Structure 1
Amino acid sequence: MPEPSRSQELPVSLLTDPVMIEACRTRDFGRVFRLVKARAGIYPSMIARRCDLTPSRVGEVIAGRRQLLHMDVVERISDGLRIPGQMLGLARRSWETPPSLTTKPREPAEAPASAVESLGAGLPGADVDSILVLAAEHDLSLSTLDALHSSIADYWRRDDEHGGETLRPAVVGQLRYVVGLLKEQRPAPLRTGLHGIAAELARLTGWTYFDARQYSQARAYFTESLGLARAIDDRQFMANVLACMSLQATYEDKPGDALALVTAAQDQAREAAGTTPRVLAMLAMREAFAHAALGDRGATHTAISEAHGQFGRISTGDPDPGWVAYFDEPKLIVDTGIAHGRLGEAALAEPLIADALRREHRTNHRGRAFHAFWLARIQLQRGKLDEACHTAMDALAPAAAVSSQRVGSHLREFYEQLEPFRREPAAVAFESRLRETLPRQVSGSPRP
């Protein structure tokens, strides 16, 4: 294949354009080729030559009469147009690392665990591998692990405040770094610590994809996280990952899967030494969500009671893992309200969610928006149109501050439920504010 010259490389402005990113993610090559022609001046005949395709085939793709599905063709397009592999769901291409950054391989180390091998094989991310190899030359110490734990805590805080979309490249880059460290022979305590950190970074990456409603990618990273935790027999963390997967299954309208996953999570937690009441309370609440999605009122109420009972057993000195610290009393209360709301028990749900919102931290933009839209929908179910619209208007500012497809979907659900009341003054006022604050959410919706 002819080597593209420097002048033929795609402009950075195109590679970072959200339209191009989405076209690559979905492998919509008709749109990719049109963008390349319009923005980079690479015409169909040149695309064909660089990607080893026939001009007629490229023309059919642009016209929408043919799709390109074979992996070898996708790889040729990536290499021919210099589209980074991660944009097309591929492993890093050989040309992505500048020659000046290549390093000599180290002496052979112990074989990596299977979870590490599978994770390192196909990770997306920026061009950082060779730089991180250089960084890894330094001796690893417990202080390095402490620094990595601190960065993870900071990522979660920023995820609550702004969403995970912009964080993801940094998180994946750090995940690459830790996976690289795991390929070296380490003392047992350091190796165990690195496995735990890699598991948490993989879970966080999965969470950012879940919040973006990219469920297949989320599931892949959650599965990698599970494998990393299993490698060090961290059953509490395995329970945590399974609970995340259970929550995702409720969003995918797979309540049976949700219940099976949270049941497996509880089994892992019970087998773990020293599982704390806070962890068990969180898992019981996820079980309540699964039963509510199934419409099983009795089982939902039993799981809620179990969650509150476990929460009442929490003591100040409990050795809670850091990842469960978010499950505080306001979170217990709001989740209880949501479980009742899923069952249609609006009278029980409303005061609980309202109380939790009053106590929720102001910087948790996603949580506040998410829970406010839940409250607005429940108030609407109870016939409280004015209150529902007022609650939803209060949610618009935090919704605008965070990048979260999940929050957007709850906003759209509330907006659709307003349809019968669209001409009422409160609904008109809400829609006006919505169009000012988040115009994209209603750009395709008809005006009343």
Structure 2
Amino acid sequence: MPNSAQPRELPARLLTDPEMIHACRARDFSRVFRLVKKQAGIYPSMIARLCDLTPSRVGEVIAGQRQLLHMDVIERISDGLRIPGHMLGLARRPWETPTALVVTEREPPQASGPESPSPATLPGPDVDSILALTSRTDPAPSTLQALQSSIEDYWRRDDQHGGETLRPAVVGQLRYVVGLLGESTSTSLRRGLYGVAAELARLTGWTYFDARQFSQARAYFTESLQLAKEIEDRPFMANVLACMSLQATYQDKAADALALANAAQDATRAGAGSTPRVLSMLAMREAFAHAALGSRTDTHKAISEAHRQFEHVGASDPDPAWAFYFDEPKLIVDTGIAHGRLGDAATAEPLITEAMRREYSSNQRGRAFHAFWLARTQLQLGKLDQACHTATEALDSASAVASERLTGHLREFYEQLATYRQEPVALAFEARLREVLPP
């Protein structure tokens, strides 16, 4: 018969109850069904629908008049009641891994289908283009201020929710600014517009990087470099190269990451405007690259340089707006992550813990990233309970942010739990995970 009921997750307290664990191990379904009824409120009639059994058969099992021995029936019970496979001596069931943790190709398809028609109440794109021709004038200084304010708002929203839904607006504004560049006659305004366009291109590249669409990210980062080069903004070019270096570490291209980090540092040395904060950030990018290469000595040297530069940061420094994110908590957490990449969990754990205590709570994605790094280091140190607790606390923030990169960190922690999945605390984490990221 078809299973018309929708399976629901059993509460973590039931899956970790010693009596439930023992009953599942013995395949004592009389006890299993009674516990499911008592602790999860799933009555025999619902058990029958969920597990594709007849109500009379379920009643006989509960009364101890019948045993369930056939493997296909046991599999239906596992799937219908969402009992993890290993508890019943089965292989891991497909539903145990949330769809969000399955690795999928994120690059966009090369060929795109026809665009969906616009709602009838909106003008078509050709009308928009005609109206734009009649409304454009030489931009005023206030235009630059409005655009810069928009960029700051975009970054705040990206930190809180991810860039997936933000990207169309950013790309549209980028193209608008490029159009203004063709019409501006003021030399000072053109320089400002080039700077805004470079920032918008970098932000677009960042949203693609965060979505693990690496080819698109590289294209926009390259466009950002070209725009910044038009006005010889060397510090900003270094910033873009630092982004590309970080992306290379995610693509397991450690040698490329180091080359890009070194190029970023060269760019700052070639021009004016570098500050201790910028130099500290770039040294930390170099540390990440060395850590990805497994070079302990060079990683420690780059970390020391990052801290040395940061000691000279002053309130009156002419730091560019894009550099202020690199504050002391960020320096500390990145130091911890660099040690974590080297496998030095004992050094990494207290650093990441201290940084998370001090960092802003509004950056949901950043806090979730750092929490998963902390959980990984705690797991490496054998602190299973703490690791699962840390990761569980991060799940709410992770679920509120559209970030494939964040999902990748969650996936890495989830895979590290493989050898502990029969432990009650790991079972509780996985149950919570399936609630937050349902298949």
TM-score normalised to structure 2 length = 0.73
What does the per-residue CA deviation read over 1:230-270, in whole Å, with 9 as the maximum and x for residues that have no partner? 01100000000000000000000000000000101000111
Q: CA deviation at 1:24?
A: 10
* Residue 31 of structure 1: aligned partner: none
The CA deviation string for residues 211-248 of structure 1, in whole angstroms up to 9 with x for no partner, is 00000000000000000000110000000000000000
Partner of 2:354: 355
Matches within 5 A, 1:189-268: 189-268=188-267
> What pairs with 1:168-179 in structure 2 (closer than 5 Å)?
168-179=167-178
Q: What is residue 142 of structure 1 aligned with on the other side?
A: 141
Kindly report which structure 2 residues correspond to 1:320-339, keeping only aligned pairs within 5 A, or say none.
320-339=319-338
CA 1:429–1:102 in structure 2 vs 1: closer, same or farther (change >3 Å)? closer
After TM superposition, list the pairs within 5 Å mapping 1:38-57 onto structure 2. none
Q: CA deviation at 1:185?
A: 4.0
CA deviation after TM superposition for structure 1 residue 314, in Å: 0.5
RMSD: 1.8
Q: CA deviation at 1:98?
A: 4.5
Q: Deviations over 1:374-431 (max 9, x none)?
A: 0001100000000000000010010011110011011011111101100101101101
Q: What letter corresponds to residue 177 of structure 1 in structure 2?
A: Y
Q: Separation in 1 of the partners of 2:213 and 2:257?
A: 17
Residue in 2 aligned with 1:158? 157
Selected match of 1:26 from 82, 88, 109 = 109
The answer on whether the counterparts of 2:276 and 2:312 sit within 8 Å (CA) in structure 1 is: yes
How far apart, CA to CA, are the structure 2 residues paired with 1:437 and 1:310?
41
Partner Cα distance (1:238, 1:99) in 2: 35
The code of the aligned residue for 1:361 comes to Y
Query: Deviations along 1:111-149, whole A, 9 cap, x unmatched?
Result: xxxxxxxxxxxxxxxxxxxx54454x2341111101111
In the TM superposition, structure 1's runs of 4+ consecutive aligned residues that sit over 4 Å from their partners are 81-84, 96-99, 131-135
Equivalent runs, 1:30-429 vs 2, <5 Å: 74=111, 78=113, 81-82=114-115, 97-103=124-130, 132-135=132-135, 137-429=136-428
CA contact (8 A) 2:335 2:348 kept: yes
The residue that corresponds to 1:126 in the other structure is none
Q: 1:132 to 1:338 in 2, by over 3 A?
A: farther
Distance in 2 (CA, whole Å) between partners of 1:208 and 1:102 is 26
Cα distance, 1:274 vs structure 2: 2.7
For 2:129 and 2:157, how far apart are their aligned partners in 1?
A: 33
Aligned to 1:45: none
Identity, % of aligned pairs?
69
Distance 2:295 2:128 in 1: 58
Q: Which runs of 5+ in 2 are unaligned?
A: 1-104, 118-122
Structure number with bigger Rg: 2
CA distance in 2, matches of 1:406, 1:325: 22
Q: Distance in 2 between matches of 1:402 and 1:145?
A: 29
Q: Residue 291 of structure 2 contacts residue 342 of structure 2 at CA under 8 Å; is this kept in 1? A: yes
- Paired position in structure 1 for 2:73: none
Query: Contact 1:133/1:180 (CA < 8 Å) preserved in 2?
Result: no
* One-letter amino acid of the structure 1 residue matched with residue 109 of structure 2: T
Following the alignment from structure 1 to structure 2, what is the Cα–Cα distance between the partners of residues 170 and 376?
Answer: 35
Whether the aligned pair in 2 keeps the contact of 1:338 and 1:349 (CA below 8 Å) is yes
Distance 1:101 1:343, change over 3 A: closer
Return the offset for 1:23. Answer: 11
**Could you list the per-position Cα deviations for residues 55-78 of structure 1 after superposition, in whole angstroms to 9, with x for gaps in the alignment?**
xxxxxxxxxxxxxxxxxxx5xx74
> Match for residue 90 of structure 1?
none
For the 8 Å contact 1:256–1:294, the answer to whether it is kept is yes
Task: Provide the rounded CA distance (Å) in 2 between the counterparts of 1:378 and 1:187.
Answer: 54
Counterpart Cα distance in 1 of 2:351 and 2:230: 40
Quick one: structure 1 residues 101 and 322, their matched pair in 2 at CA, closer, same or farther if it must change by over 3 Å?
Answer: closer
Change (3 A) 1:147 1:250: same
Give yes or no for contact 1:165–1:403 (8 Å, CA) kept in 2: yes
C-alpha distance in 2 between matches for 1:335 and 1:23: 26
Cα 1:23/1:368, change in 2 over 3 Å: closer
CA distance in 1, matches of 2:368, 2:382: 21
Question: C-alpha distance in 1, partners of 2:405/2:245?
Answer: 16
CA distance, structure 2, for counterparts of residue 24 and residue 395 of structure 1: 27
Distance 2:211 2:162 in 1: 9
Equivalence for 1:67: none
- 2:336 is paired with a residue whose SS is helix
C-alpha distance 189-297 of structure 1, shift in aligned 2 (>3 A): same
Judge conservation of contact 2:137–2:183 (CA < 8 Å) in 1: no
Structure 1 192/98 Cα, relative in aligned 2: closer, same or farther at 3 Å? closer
Report which structure shows greater RCO (CA 8 Å, sep ≥6): 2
- What is the Cα deviation at residue 100 of structure 1? 3.7
Matches of 2:125 and 2:160, distance apart in 1 = 35
Q: In the alignment, what sits opposite 2:71?
A: none
The change in CA–CA distance for 1:102 and 1:272 in structure 2 (over 3 A counts) is: closer
Equivalent-residue separation in structure 1 for 2:165 and 2:404 (angstroms): 13
Q: 1:82 to 1:248 in 2, by over 3 A?
A: closer
Map 1:431-446 onto structure 2 (within 5 A).
Answer: 431-439=430-438, 443=439
Distance 2:107 2:371 in 1: 34
